[in-house]
Amino acid sequence: MAKDPAAEIPVKSGFLTTEFWTTAAVIIGNIVAVLAVMAKLSPDQTSELTNAVTQLCTMLPVVAANVFVIWKYISGRTAVKQAAQEAATARYTAGLQADVPAKAKEPSTP
């Protein structure tokens, strides 16, 4: 039976996709536009809010990149420390087993 190629593609969480963030930016922009059209916001407020959303959209990729770098660094350091801990535990366990006398390892027969 042939494998389904789509079954091997990993699925990202919804908030990790580009579509999610693009949709979120568009929705925020639409909310600002609707409030401006309905005259709920003054022109100054509309301008300030538009600038704030623009700055947020500009800043978000930089913050996300920094978070990614820090996350990769921490996970790499964690992996190194876990490997060192496992190696130390293996050496310790091997040392304990070497100290056990050969007679103690064999069951005694009466």
Is 50 part of a structural domain of the chain?
yes
Is 12 part of a structural domain of the chain?
no
Is 4 part of a structural domain of the chain?
no
Is 104 part of a structural domain of the chain?
no
How many domains are contained in the chain? 1
Q: Is the pTM of this model over 0.95?
A: no
- Please tell me the predicted confidence (pLDDT) of residue 109: 58
Q: Indicate if the pLDDT at residue 6 is higher than 80.
A: no
Per the structure, the complete domain to which residue 68 belongs is given by 17-99
Mean pLDDT of the chain: 78
Is 79 part of a structural domain of the chain?
yes
Is 105 part of a structural domain of the chain?
no
Q: Give buried/exposed letters for 50-63 (b at 16+ CB in 10 A, else e).
A: eeeeeeeeeeeeee
Is 26 part of a structural domain of the chain?
yes
Is 66 part of a structural domain of the chain?
yes
Cβ 7 vs Cβ 13: under 8 Å: no
